[in-house]
Amino acid sequence: MNLTSFLQDKHLTVALRGEIDHHSAKDIMRVLGNKIDLYLPRVCVLDFREVTFMDSSGIAIVISCVRRMRQLRGEVILRSVPPQPMKVLKASGMKKGALFMKAENEMTLTFPSRSSNESFARAAVACFAAQLDPNLEELNDIKTAVSEAVTNCIVHAYRDCLGTVTIRCRILPESVLDIVIRDKGCGMEDVEKARAPMFTTGGPERSGMGFTIMESFMTSLQVTSKPGKGTTVHMKRKIVQRRKTA
């Protein structure tokens, strides 16, 4: 059988391995369905890290699992999907917003906009990101981008008052760290102008390079803002998976 499984805290983790095709899929679906019916989990995690090949039969396995978990009002998470199976899943039209593409883990922090909390914020995100096993350069890039975003909240969003900063971090499929940093401060009228290198409203002690650094150090960056409502910075960083040796 091309799978092993374990149950912990109503989370059923099923590790698939080898080649998944028409021949193997029927047995996998049968055993997977029996385990869901037996354990009645809240979450079913399908771990693909040891799958070496998958055709459209793998899509049928995922759909079957999703249908069973919906009956239990539960959810399905795909974990560590290699490039070839992921390409098959994407070709089927399965999108990240679907039930089975939810975050593998997440955390939310809210703290006052004090400059003393900058180091806490980047350390907390770095600790959360550590589960993806980033190398030192990747970790430092993440910490730098978070530090820049939080500093913007403190220096620009709440110029003459104390407010709150919220950070939400998620681990997404394909080893992607998703970070959203939000404030409820003064907001910006012209986001594109604010993102331009060397532009700043923070005085001579600010370089105006914060957004440029975030964009350079992260895989993607989106900034939205409304005057009087606040600003949201949404960053993602793809972590390169290193081959582990025995």
Catalytic residue selected from 17, 42, 168, 206: 206
Rounded Cα distance, 47 and 28, in Å: 13
The number of CA neighbours under 13 Å toward the Cβ of 137 is 4
Task: Tell me which of 152, 170, 182, 237 is the catalytic residue.
Answer: 152
Dihedral sign of CA atoms 8, 10, 14, 15 in order: negative
Dist. CA 45–CA 27, nearest whole Å? 18
Q: Which of 148, 170, 182, 237 is an active site residue?
A: 148
Residue 99 near residue 75, CB atoms below 8 Å:
yes
DSSP for 90-148, please give it.
Answer: HHTT--TTSTTB--SEEEEEEEE--GGGHHHHHHHHHHHHGGG---HHHHHHHHHHHHH
Q: Is 206 a catalytic residue?
A: yes
Place of tokens 């907001």: 187
Dist CA 157 CA 164 (whole Å): 10
Q: Is 106 in the active site?
A: no
The answer to whether residue 192 is catalytic is no
Q: Could you give the residue numbers annotated as active site?
A: 148, 152, 206
